[in-house]
């Protein structure tokens, strides 16, 4: 099980202070590409930190929603969404190349991620956007990171159409619904406390299961475990999960 974190999410005078501390604990850094957070300098600094610590770099594209931190759904046509994702991934990939490293995967952010998991139309647009990038590059193809659910096999079959490799992701610090999706952040308790997050991470690592909001046990087969950089106690959570791993 790998450990990943959403990073590079400072913007202008708004600073997310966990970057340097948490980078030493993780395997994969999902770096914002400017549409929900991040700016050129923040992207460059996050890439440098990832390279310094030997952390794999992932592009973290989002809806164009700086005011809402990318957590508001938007109605965007498939062609425009594909272009938006490719624009963001290309920006980060170019910055990474200037720093002597590469982007190896793509993980959509926030509302785009949640919408992708709920809507086949959006999911196909996301898959097509990454597949088209892969068709034009000569190095290792980009992997798409999606949420691990009971429908992993369905997602795998969809990705085969695009010859698209996948990472399946679980969440240490978010409450799950009985459907295997993430409980809305508008619901109290949707973001877990530090001790709850560690307990959920241990359960996911040891048995591949989570306890849902209703108390049911849900099977979740994942390759990577996420700690959100803006979760309270994120660095401590990552350090404790790393120790457990």
Half-sphere exposure of 241 (CA within 13 A, CB side): 37
Judged against a pLDDT cut of 70, whether residue 226 lies above it is answered with: yes
Residue 153 burial (CB < 10 Å; 0-12/13-18/19+)? exposed
Check: pTM over 0.85? Answer yes or no.
Answer: yes
Rounded average pLDDT over 167-192:
91
- The C-alpha atoms of residue 28 and residue 213 are separated, in whole angstroms, by 28
Sign of the dihedral through C-alpha 69, 71, 77, 83: positive
- What gap in Å lies between CA 60 and CA 77, rounded to an integer? 20
Strand pairing category for 28-32 and 56-60: parallel
Res. 35 pLDDT band, cuts 50 70 90: very high
Beta pairing class for 166-171 and 209-211:
unpaired
Distance (Å, rounded) from C-alpha 98 to C-alpha 93? Answer: 9
| Type and span of the H or E element at 28 | strand 28-32
Domains of the chain (ranges plus CATH)? 2-174+222-244 (3.20.20.370)
pLDDT by residue (tens digit) across 130-163?
Answer: 999 999 986 889 999 999 998 899 999 999 999 9
């Amino acid at each position: 099980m790998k450990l990943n974190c959403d990073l590079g999410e400072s913007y202008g005078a708004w600073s997310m202070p966990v970057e340097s501390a948490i980078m030493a604990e993780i395997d994969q850094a999902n770096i914002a590409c400017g549409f929900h957070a991040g700016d050129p300098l923040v992207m460059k600094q996050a890439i440098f930190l990832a390279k310094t610590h030997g952390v794999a770099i992932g592009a973290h594209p989002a809806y164009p929603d700086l005011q809402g931190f990318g957590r508001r759904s938007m109605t965007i046509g498939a062609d425009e969404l594909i272009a938006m994702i490719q624009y963001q991934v290309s920006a980060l990939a170019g910055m990474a190349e200037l720093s002597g490293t590469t982007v190896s995967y793509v993980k959509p952010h926030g509302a785009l991620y949640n919408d992708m998991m709920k809507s086949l139309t959006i999911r196909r647009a996301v898959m097509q956007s990454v597949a088209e990038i892969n068709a034009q590059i000569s190095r290792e193809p980009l992997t798409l990171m999606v949420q691990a659910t009971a429908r992993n096999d369905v997602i795998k079959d969809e990705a085969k159409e695009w010859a698209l490799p996948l990472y399946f992701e679980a969440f240490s610090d978010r409450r799950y619904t009985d459907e295997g999706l993430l409980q809305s952040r508008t619901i109290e308790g949707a973001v877990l406390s530090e001790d709850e997050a560690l307990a959920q991470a241990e359960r996911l690592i040891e048995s591949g299961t989570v306890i849902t909001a209703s108390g049911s046990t849900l099977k979740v087969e994942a390759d990577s475990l996420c700690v959100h950089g803006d979760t309270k106690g994120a660095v401590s959570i990552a350090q404790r999960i790393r120790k457990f791993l």
